[in-house]
Structure 1
Amino acid sequence: MRFRMLGPLEVVGPEGSVLITAERQRVMLGLLLMEANRIVPTERLVDAVWGDAPPSTARGQVQICISMVRANLAKVGLEDVIHTRPPGYAAQVGDDDLDLRVFDRLTLAGRAAAEAGRYAEADTAFAGALALWRGDMHVDSGGARTALQAPAARLNEQRLAVAEQWVDVQLALGQHQQLVEHLIDLVMQNPLREHLRAQLMTALYRSGRQAEALEVYRAGRQVLIDELGIEPGEQLRRLEEAILCGEPDGACPPPQAPVQLSVPAPAPAPVPAPAPVPVPAAAAEPSGVPRLLPGAIADFTGRDAMVAALRGVLESDASDSYGLRIVSVTGKGGVGKTTLAVHLGHLLADHYPDGQLFAKLRGPSAQPVPPAQILERFLRGLGVPGTGIPDSVEERAELFRHLIAGRRVLIVLDDAIDEAQVRWLLPGTCSCPVLVTSRSRLTGLEGTHAVQMNVFTTEQALQLLSRILGAERIQADLPHALELIELCGGLALALRVVAARLAARQHWTIGHMVARLHDERRRLNELTHGGVGVRASFALAYQGLPAEAQVLFRRLSMLEATDFSSWVAAPLLDLDMATAEDTLELLVDAQLVDVELVDGRSTRYRLHDLVRVYSQECLAEKEGTVQRAAVLGRVLSTWLHLLEEAHRRVYGGEHAIHGDAPRRTLDQWVVDREIADPVAWFDAERGSLITVVRQAAAAGLDELCWDLALTSVAMFENRNYFDDWRTTHEIALAVTQRNGNRRGRAAMLYSLGSLHMFQYRLDEAAGRLTVARDLFREVGDAHGEALARRNLAFVEQVRGHHDAAMAGYEEALALLEHADDPTTEAHVLNNMAKIRLERGQLQEAKLALEAALAAVERSGGLRIRAQILCRLGETHLETGDVAEAEHAFSEAMESIRAAGDQVGEAYALRGLATARHRQGAHDDAIEMLERAMAIADRADERMAVGRIRLALGEVTADQRYYARAREHLAAALEVFERMDAVDWRDRALRVLDDIAAVG
């Protein structure tokens, strides 16, 4: 689709996408697309943009805007979309080019299918229609509110109606358990929507959750009474009564007509015929029909979709094919691969009447079973006597292929180690399909239909537990059953073991089993029963690894983060990155490490919870405390290296204060790959960062701990992660105090004081910064003392004590003279320029800003450069040089966007808006200020909100919209009062006084 309106407006042409940022252009294009292939009069476009007060040049401005829209579309190959058609314009759009049209078409198809009882078809259509939405329908501000709000509201309502119809269809298809979570979200978002609430009650009841269904009714009744003063409608009342009576089917909303599911129900597993007794015969003439499959599993459950899909592949007619049919099922140990393969083998027995061959390809000690040995078993099963079996593996394979050629035999190869092992066992023709299970991804087997088998979902796990223990026992203690599933990590083998133990001990509650599993040191012991255990399954994979891979596997459990990037393998092994990464991939191939692609670009690795427990056991057995401490130190030192490099790429130069902790570097190509986008990298890794700071503290590595915390501060500030800032620093402050690290303690107090300063908690900031300043002086750290003095001066500046602030800045500059910290120097000069600007010392302010920009050129910091340019723009505004001011703010915006600084963008937009206002472009100014307000609100940057509100008050007052101006100024005053920002409070009061003077 070229035009997408179901969410933010998007345009994609043959030559790429185009971002239309000007509000008027977005409004006009949006209205034309709403009325696609119909003429929209020019008057409607004027009303959409300016409402009841259009300027005299409105028609001409519409022509200009339409021309600019056409030019933007032409950039991406969409030249012939908007046409002039008196008395206005029309957008010519194909049926598949606009998501609105596709949505309507799919919705109509879904309704027609549902009315005809074709629920699977309706499900597909409704799901496709809803997938087109990328958020609520976007409506711009201003005049567009009246032009687009009504159709947008109508479409949003239609989206919700389709969602309800889709839920009806899903309920008719029996998907009630899968719907519960989705319906809970929908009901919370639309609490007055009675049909949604009825659907949720229905889904809960059919999932065996009667009490919760009734609670949903009671909560909905209370909402309706509180909000509207009415009782629930007839549908909800009847449904509640039916559930209480245990007969809800007649009152439930979805249609209950018979549904033909596209996935056939599994046929009953046939009873295997007894294996024939081999009769001596010529080797070329098979005399046996082998039935080598293990016994069928009576309580197999939870894999219906996978079974149906694989049956389709394995039962397909191969008469027109010359290639082998190979299906490989891969997954970690204990996930249920063998169980699935055996179950499938029995289901397919009638389809392959000439026999079913089965062999385990891995021995009890994790070593591969030689193909020659497996071929001997297969040949004997096919009736070849021992004397007729050749000696060499090549001849055995040839004889095997000859004997089954043209016959219908299913071959099941369980727990294959690699492709080479499997190749000897393959048939020569397509009439005999091969089903292979393996922990490795057998990508080298040409033409393989590969399936990844994952752990059970919660619903599948509940089904398995209910089959073994009985649904009544599970429902009677559902919270503990859910906790049991979580502790087993959804692993089929673990669930079967705990279920078997509970079945054998009827006097044990599920909660009792959960309590025993909570102790990680004993968890794998608890997951053993009747000679079957999870530990043994993991051990098979571990013992089959090369020595270096075994070392990496056990050391991965030292990482307490939930997931990690591949670079950690290098410090864990103390090897180069390429070798370490290859070793990590061996663990992925062995299904001991899971991998996923995040947002389509970032590869993350993780250990399954039970695998991690086994890894910790191996670590404790093989490596001592001293060795583990050295490994952890290398990992944390590498973290510190990456953090410093990310800081350098965003801010330029070094961060403020360094510790004496070692840095372990990575190859440059690894660093470039990991932090190609430093801000995005930090967002992805910040959860891990908090964990490594905590690990450093727990290990007593105080120097590494505080250095890691402090190096992250600039990123925390940039992204407004104030909770993370506080958490990491309080951890580091505690360990530096405990270990008597005075400089580290000073650094943490300085940084926590800075956090309080950014949050305008000025008394707390001054207290911690004062202690930090004194500690830095005592340990002889002039640089740290300068940083503390700078921030103390800023506190005084915010309080309106300009003389004290200037004195503090001068002291900081003197201490910075030999510190080689141009970034901090630029900050100080920028703040001094602000004071001089407020005092009317314009020339002195410009000189300070020029010196600040020169300092920035030495550091390359994008964010401080943008701040200085914004201050320079304010200076130009004070001198009346509006064009230069606009240029400075625009240049600042480039640096801000390059640095990903959201708060900085709000401030730059505020400055640009003031410049546009001075030029007489009042509408543009208000639009920019409202965009800035939205950014500041999202970032929860209260001071920015206050200053933008003040600017809105000034602009609207100049336009004589005094009532609106008073609203903005009152909101700004509330912010400034709360933050004790005296100067800004006084400025807002002066504007209010000016308004009062003119009426």
Structure 2
Amino acid sequence: MWFRMLGSLEMHGPSGEFPIVAQRRQIILMMTLLEANRSVGMDRLMEAVWDDAPPATAKAQVQICISMLRRMLSEAGLPPDIISTTNNGYMVRVPADQLDSLAFADLIRRAYQAVAEHRLSEADEMFHAATGLWRGHGLTTGNSRILRSANVRLVHELVGAVEQWADVRLRLGTHHSLVGYLSELVSHHPLREGLRARLMRVLYQSGQQAEALKVYRNGRRLLVDELGIEPGEELQLLERAILNGAPDTAPQPVATPAVGPMVQVTPRLLPTDIQDFTGHAEPIHQLRQHLLSRDGSPNSVPVVVLCGKAGVGKTTLATHIGHLLADEFPDGQLFVQLNSLSVQPVTVAQALERFLRALGVAGSAIPERLEERAELYRQLLAHRRVLVVLDDAVDEEQLRWLIPGSAGCAVMVTSRFRLTGQPGVTIVNVPVFDQEQAMQLLTKVVGSDRAYAELSECLRLVELCGGLPIGLRIVGARLASRPHWSIGQFVERITDESQRLHELVYRGLGVRATLALTYQVLSETAQRLFRRLALLEVHDFPGWLAVPLLDTSVHEAEEALDELIDAQFLDVERLDRSGRLRFRLHSLIRTYARERLGHDESPGDRSAALARLLGAWLFFTEQAHRKEYGGDHTLLHGKAQRWAVPDNVIERELIDPIQWYESERHGIVGAVCQAARAGLDELCWDLALTSVTLFEAQSFFDDWRVTHEMALVECRRTGNRRGEAAMLHSLGALRLYEQRFAEASLLLRPAQHIFAEIGDRHGQALVLRNLAFLDRAQGRIGDAARRCEQALPLLRAAGDAVGEAHVLGSIAQIELERGDFDAAEPHLTRALELVEVTGSRRIRCQLLCRLGDLQLARGNETDAEETFRSVVKMVQEYGDKVGEMYARYGLGVALARQQCTDEAEAELAKVQDQASYLPHRMLGGQIRMVRGRIQLDHGQADLALQLFSQAQQIFAELEMDTWRVRALLAVGDAYRSRGQGEAASIAWREAMALAGKLDSKIIRPVTAELRARTH
């Protein structure tokens, strides 16, 4: 032959053998010979020599090599035009009998044809001749990546031919001579299970049963150690048959070949299904349904994309479902790992080449052009039922070439991206494991006894891995390989987040490496956003935060956000109450993001991003307060730097400020905490105080307390006196809401002192307003009135219309309690006028409740009922649960006064339970007073006494002596109704003694009633 390359490269001519010493010439000649009689492009030749880094002179160097090869061929006496120049490269023209690789392919094709026609002796001769062309176990590939890939393909053809040759000789009974050759091949290809199975059969049929079993056990040990898997079904059944001395160890008949250089075989390319497959019941159901469905066009191919984040087990699931549906696709399963995100991905052309070979096409018959390969691929799958599994795809372009053209086939794709651009594709999301599924997997890997002995530690591992299967498998594998470790020890190792990804690695499998593949293909902007999302200290977050994190336009931020979603780095968590999407980072992905943040960004960049983030929270929260209150009313602000969120984002997000507040509650609290840790005291107290609108409206008192106490500590640390006073004032207001009046006084008074000291008149006014409430609650009506009068001019000077309206409402309430209804009305009217201008819904509802109280005091129960009903409707519309309680209480009183007993009871019962606990116990006591009067009027003295006694106890605990006097008066009335005069007198005398300590104006009507009863 002129050329031999199956082993080492040799060139022969009439003048004898001509050695080719220069490696570069060897590579170029072998590349042209591999594609003999077809053109090889210049780019392909350069890639073969220099991989992905050709020098600037590469093209010229290839041309020089070709020239030298032509001269050598001529000197050897070979035809001078054997290497010709084509449009885009070069071509070697060589007859099939003058190149061993072409002769090998032709002999193998003819051998398969002979087997199909049952000419076994002829097939034996051809297989013998074909394998004899090999002078080693692989090509001489040098450092060429392309040649190494070609070597794998040719060796695969050799091994396949030897397997078929062994089957033929077993039928002929001449298999003994193959023992040595098969043994040598198995040693070079130890993971080739088909080859090992032939060696076992040949040994067994040669009377060497022990040696056959030894071959199996050696192979099993290698598979378990190297791949962590058991041998396939063929080897396992064969071992069992040999152990049982079964006669059916002969191979199955060889598949019938097709006409031409291809053999119609049934490809079975799926990897082995894992024994401990766990979970994913819902995705499995969806996959079966979609892959087997014929509801669409009768000519369409079902294409299902398994979409999920890195490490969620998409490949494992695809393999599992492929095996489950094997009977539904009797013509075989094709599988290829595209590895699209790896350094050396499998190209579409390479994938088609693999599929064509698996379908029986000889290497020499595979077309060069991509389009022709795709056409042949579709032609071979026509009228066949084959499942095609494309693992780790990255875009729709790959799918376009690899989807069959016939409806009998189906395609299953795994990807970290949502490949919705492919027409007719169905997306099946693969979620992370829930706790139950994660525990099942962990238990299978480490053993049930060990898992249940440390159950709480196992549950902690599940939590730390976030239910991500790859993390759980690594954890399980490390524990299984170290039986002397306790599970608790391993929990300690991975609890430290900075070390977690270092620990989640086992024998080349690692969470970090898996996530890095996705990270590397993101755009620079998406990478930057991903890193900076690690700054967020919340479970979920809104999309608008991407804008300040990137310091860019809304459009660019949204594009980056969408890219992270497509890459499965970001989960779409849920819709908030306003219908807006919220997003979440999986715990292990967040850990990786923090690693990247520390590695890829400078301290200055991190600090700047955090400052923008916190400044945006303050700006947004400030805008929400302004929209709810009509301005910066009832609020103090500091000088912290804001980051202005674009107007269109504000308009889109702040349709309802209270709903926005509630959705962003955890983010705001987290931002306050971050500001405190970062030493941003001014921003910290300002954001905390601005957020009180939310905390107050929705009764989030724990958040109110935590944020303010943290800000107070930071302000005191830095000597920020105004911030300190603001936090003391707001914490005092919180104590008032909680009806812890003694504690409120201890906070409000030093706040007043600091505001006076620094000359902050607005701050003084706000504290006076709260001190007035404290005085009124404890029966010091005169002091309350004086403080309100002091606060009014200060609030007007500050332009705080809502604060002024609030104080006017308090004055009206004081006059109501004094019984001076005419004095109350103008204050109330003016207050309502002020809030109408600002548009503050919450204060308006509070003032309308005051109006309802005034109407009740004047005996206008019908008007009062209408007023309270309107307030109930308003507070329900914007979700003010506290306001609803007080409005329903007023409505219940109005209905009771009109003798609508059942309806009054119904309204009061709706809110009594929730008003029985802090911070609304006072209202709970007042409700019991009204319900007690209703029961007493209906002759239910026992129940009335119970309600009055409960109310009296509540007012006593709250130190609300005015209401306690009223409750004691009612207790006496209940005793009298029961005929217990002495008990009634004791209650009335206690009330009289307490009343003597209170403001004479407010208690005068009650005192008159007491004197009448005690006499």
**Could you say whether these structures have the same fold, taking a TM-score greater than 0.5 normalized by the shorter chain as the test?**
yes
Q: Which residue of 1 aligns with 2:77?
A: none
Residue 508 of structure 1, aligned match among 473, 485, 488? 485
Tell me if structure 2 keeps the 8 A contact 1:269–1:296. no
What one-letter code is carried by the residue in structure 2 that aligns with 1:768?
A: L
Q: Which residue of 2 aligns with 1:222?
A: none
- 1:417 deviates by 0.6
Tell me if structure 1 keeps the 8 A contact 2:261–2:362. no
Q: Which residue of 2 aligns with 1:552?
A: 529
Residue 690 of structure 2, aligned match among 687, 706, 711? 711
Query: 1:979 and 1:434, CA in 2 relative to 1: closer, same or farther beyond 3 A?
Result: same
What one-letter code is carried by the residue in structure 2 that aligns with 1:527?
A: L
* Aligned ranges 1:715-726 → 2 under 5 Å: 715-726=694-705
Determine the C-alpha separation between the residues in 2 that align with 1:602 and 1:318. Answer: 34
Q: Which residue of 2 aligns with 1:645?
A: 623
Q: Which moved more, 1:452-461 or 1:891-900?
A: 891-900
Determine the C-alpha separation between the residues in 2 that align with 1:364 and 1:927. Answer: 65
Q: Which residue of 1 aligns with 2:966?
A: 987
What one-letter code is carried by the residue in structure 2 that aligns with 1:616?
A: R
Query: 1:967 and 1:467, CA in 2 relative to 1: closer, same or farther beyond 3 A?
Result: closer
State yes or no: 1:322 paired with 2:299.
Answer: yes
SS in 2 for 1:738: helix
* Aligned ranges 1:800-839 → 2 under 5 Å: 800-839=779-818
Tell me if structure 2 keeps the 8 A contact 1:356–1:412. yes
Determine the C-alpha separation between the residues in 2 that align with 1:319 and 1:657. Answer: 63
Deviations 1:143-198 (A, max 9, x none): xxxxxxxxxxxxxxxxxxxxxxxxxxxxxxxxxxxxxxxxxxxxxxxxxxxxxxxx
Deviations 1:441-476 (A, max 9, x none): 122233334321111233322332333332222222
Determine the C-alpha separation between the residues in 2 that align with 1:345 and 1:847. Answer: 80
Determine the C-alpha separation between the residues in 2 that align with 1:522 and 1:901. Answer: 45
Determine the C-alpha separation between the residues in 2 that align with 1:477 and 1:511. Answer: 7
Determine the C-alpha separation between the residues in 2 that align with 1:277 and 1:557. Answer: 58
Determine the C-alpha separation between the residues in 2 that align with 1:318 and 1:844. Answer: 78
- 1:730 deviates by 0.8
Q: Which residue of 1 aligns with 2:603?
A: 625
Query: 1:276 and 1:772, CA in 2 relative to 1: closer, same or farther beyond 3 A?
Result: farther
Determine the C-alpha separation between the residues in 1 that align with 2:535 and 2:253. Answer: 54
Tell me if structure 2 keeps the 8 A contact 1:823–1:855. yes
SS in 2 for 1:424: helix
Deviations 1:510-545 (A, max 9, x none): 222211111211211111111111111101111111
- 1:479 deviates by 2.0
Q: Which moved more, 1:315-324 or 1:984-993?
A: 315-324
- 1:948 deviates by 1.6
Residue 611 of structure 1, aligned match among 586, 589, 614? 589
Q: Which residue of 2 aligns with 1:541?
A: 518
Query: 1:536 and 1:984, CA in 2 relative to 1: closer, same or farther beyond 3 A?
Result: same
SS in 2 for 1:988: helix
- 1:751 deviates by 0.4
Q: Which residue of 2 aligns with 1:740?
A: 719
Residue 348 of structure 2, aligned match among 358, 368, 371? 371
Determine the C-alpha separation between the residues in 2 that align with 1:269 and 1:673. Answer: 58
Tell me if structure 1 keeps the 8 A contact 2:305–2:412. yes
Q: Which residue of 1 aligns with 2:732?
A: 753
Tell me if structure 2 keeps the 8 A contact 1:566–1:604. yes
Q: Which residue of 2 aligns with 1:476?
A: 453
SS in 1 for 2:427: strand
Residue 437 of structure 1, aligned match among 398, 414, 432? 414
* Aligned ranges 1:943-954 → 2 under 5 Å: 943-954=922-933
* Aligned ranges 1:350-389 → 2 under 5 Å: 351-363=328-340, 365=342, 369-389=346-366
Q: Which moved more, 1:859-868 or 1:782-791?
A: 859-868
What one-letter code is carried by the residue in structure 2 that aligns with 1:506?
A: P
Query: 1:386 and 1:745, CA in 2 relative to 1: closer, same or farther beyond 3 A?
Result: same
* Aligned ranges 1:103-142 → 2 under 5 Å: none
* Aligned ranges 1:548-947 → 2 under 5 Å: 548-598=525-575, 601-655=579-633, 656-934=635-913, 936-937=915-916, 941-947=920-926
Query: 1:901 and 1:466, CA in 2 relative to 1: closer, same or farther beyond 3 A?
Result: closer
Determine the C-alpha separation between the residues in 2 that align with 1:890 and 1:473. Answer: 63
Tell me if structure 2 keeps the 8 A contact 1:279–1:385. no
Determine the C-alpha separation between the residues in 1 that align with 2:829 and 2:697. Answer: 24
Determine the C-alpha separation between the residues in 2 that align with 1:663 and 1:598. Answer: 27
What one-letter code is carried by the residue in structure 2 that aligns with 1:294?
A: P
Determine the C-alpha separation between the residues in 2 that align with 1:618 and 1:580. Answer: 19
What one-letter code is carried by the residue in structure 1 that aligns with 2:880?
A: D
State yes or no: 1:493 paired with 2:470.
Answer: yes
Deviations 1:9-59 (A, max 9, x none): xxxxxxxxxxxxxxxxxxxxxxxxxxxxxxxxxxxxxxxxxxxxxxxxxxx
Unaligned segments of structure 2, at least 5 residues: 1-230, 239-250, 980-1015
Deviations 1:110-152 (A, max 9, x none): xxxxxxxxxxxxxxxxxxxxxxxxxxxxxxxxxxxxxxxxxxx
Tell me if structure 1 keeps the 8 A contact 2:922–2:954. yes
Residue 300 of structure 1, aligned match among 268, 277, 283? 277
Q: Which residue of 1 aligns with 2:146?
A: none
Query: 1:876 and 1:423, CA in 2 relative to 1: closer, same or farther beyond 3 A?
Result: same
Tell me if structure 2 keeps the 8 A contact 1:652–1:859. yes
Determine the C-alpha separation between the residues in 1 that align with 2:568 and 2:695. Answer: 35
What one-letter code is carried by the residue in structure 2 that aligns with 1:381?
A: A
Tell me if structure 2 keeps the 8 A contact 1:413–1:434. yes
SS in 2 for 1:434: strand
Tell me if structure 2 keeps the 8 A contact 1:368–1:417. no
Q: Which moved more, 1:816-825 or 1:649-658?
A: 649-658
- 1:940 deviates by 5.8
Determine the C-alpha separation between the residues in 2 that align with 1:652 and 1:921. Answer: 38
SS in 2 for 1:437: strand
SS in 1 for 2:541: coil
Q: Which moved more, 1:772-781 or 1:381-390?
A: 381-390
What one-letter code is carried by the residue in structure 2 that aligns with 1:520?
A: E
- 1:377 deviates by 2.6
Q: Which residue of 2 aligns with 1:342?
A: 319
Query: 1:933 and 1:303, CA in 2 relative to 1: closer, same or farther beyond 3 A?
Result: closer
Query: 1:932 and 1:594, CA in 2 relative to 1: closer, same or farther beyond 3 A?
Result: closer
Query: 1:385 and 1:888, CA in 2 relative to 1: closer, same or farther beyond 3 A?
Result: same
Q: Which residue of 2 aligns with 1:197?
A: none
Deviations 1:865-896 (A, max 9, x none): 12222222222332333344334333433433
Deviations 1:814-843 (A, max 9, x none): 221211111111111111111122222222
Tell me if structure 2 keeps the 8 A contact 1:282–1:388. no
SS in 2 for 1:411: strand
Determine the C-alpha separation between the residues in 2 that align with 1:919 and 1:611. Answer: 63
Query: 1:283 and 1:642, CA in 2 relative to 1: closer, same or farther beyond 3 A?
Result: farther
- 1:683 deviates by 2.8
What one-letter code is carried by the residue in structure 1 that aligns with 2:565?
A: V
Determine the C-alpha separation between the residues in 1 that align with 2:910 and 2:809. Answer: 26
Deviations 1:566-607 (A, max 9, x none): 111111111222321221111111111111324783422111
SS in 2 for 1:664: coil
Greater radius of gyration (CA): 2
Determine the C-alpha separation between the residues in 2 that align with 1:312 and 1:697. Answer: 53
Deviations 1:665-687 (A, max 9, x none): 33444334434343333333322
Q: Which moved more, 1:520-529 or 1:959-968?
A: 959-968
- 1:285 deviates by 4.5
- 1:316 deviates by 6.5
Determine the C-alpha separation between the residues in 1 that align with 2:274 and 2:770. Answer: 70
TM-score by length of 2: 0.68
Determine the C-alpha separation between the residues in 1 that align with 2:747 and 2:591. Answer: 42
Q: Which residue of 1 aligns with 2:428?
A: 451
Q: Which moved more, 1:924-933 or 1:321-330?
A: 924-933
